[in-house]
Amino acid sequence: MASDVLKTEFCGIPMASPIVLLSGCVGFGEEYTRVEGYSNADVGAVVLKGTTGDARLGNPPHRVYETPDGMLNAIGLQNPGVDAVVDTILPGLDFSETRFFANVSGSTIEEYERVTKRFDDSDIDAIEINISCPNVKEGGVQFGNDPEMSARVVAACRAQTSKPIIAKLSPNQTDIQENARLCIEAGTDGFAVINTLMGMAIDSETRKPIIGNVRGGLSGPAIKPVALLKVQQVYEVAKDHGVPIIGQGGITTAKDAIEFIIAGASAVGVGTALFYDPLVCPKINAGIAEYLVSHQLESIAPLIGSLEL
């Protein structure tokens, strides 16, 4: 159980910790509960795996490749479809332990609308709109790298739900601040900054791509400096509108998390670190709590956006 000093809220949702487990890293919320010593009560929220209108098999192998200080993945949004998630998976989750956010993905605006509407009539606490997935050949990048298209997706989803909407922004674009501005106008309640960077790996012997999809999303400590900058840039746009940010990208320690909060994040996302240390979250919680106490702070609120430029 997280310390009381870590209690916070995101988009009006009370959370026991600022830590959010990122979509695609913990399946549909139950995977890590099988690990001895792990508890969803240690985190503020869990973002479920990307969900589409119909079931998807995902990309051909290889889907994952380890890189220096990170990993490439191109899973391709494999999932059983929104009806199966709402009807079969959500009833098995313990909503008394933590908050659960859906992750909505699609190839068309109509699919985003359909999936969002289905989650609106469920127990899910908030809906993350994945407009920035770099490892599917349709949708994803097309939507996320075009600010006007991003705003259209957000507006379409906004019309389908009264739940908080979190727009997941791509780092693979020219002007993330313009994208953020238009998404705020379209009705987003929060941001997730950032999604993975686009990358690839090559087998020098076969001279072929290692990832079956050719390209994939780069995550892990290697992308942290980029993520920190993007969080600070989006915060400059979002702060006057009261739109909070989940800062994510390479967080593995409490120090990393604190840096993201100082840059403007109201919550911090942990993903790739879970693959090599499933029990990393209690360690990050303890480090954040120790920092707050040593700096005589009663919560993370005074730290948010406290970067001195």
Catalytic residues: 133
User: Between β-strands 19-21 and 267-270, what pairing exists: parallel, antiparallel or unpaired?
Assistant: parallel
Find the distance separating the first CA and the last CA of the chain, reported in whole Å: 36
* CA distances, 12 to each of 4, 96, 278, 290 (Å): 17, 17, 28, 25
- Asked if residue 286 lies in contact with residue 254, where contact means CB atoms within 8 angstroms, the answer is yes
Cis peptide leading into residue 184 (ω within 30°): no
Q: Over the range 3-25, which residues count as b (16 or more CB within 10 Å of their CB) and which as e?
A: eebbbbbbbebebbbbbbbbbbb
Whole-number Å distance between alpha carbons of 2 and 257: 15
Q: In degrees rounded to 5, what are phi and psi of residue 48? A: -70, 165
Q: Please report the sign of the dihedral spanned by the C-alpha atoms of residue 7, residue 10, residue 15, residue 21.
A: negative
Query: 260 Cβ partners below 8 Å, 6+ apart?
Result: 227, 228, 231, 247, 248, 251, 268
Q: If 0-12 CB within 10 Å is exposed, 13-18 middle and 19+ buried, where does residue 191 land?
A: buried
Amino acid at 275: F
Residue 176, CB-side half-sphere exposure with 13 Å CA sphere: 26
Residues 6+ apart with CB under 8 A from 34: none
Distance CA 139, CA 153 (A): 11
State the helix-helix crossing angle for 147-158 and 109-120, rounded to 10 degrees: 30
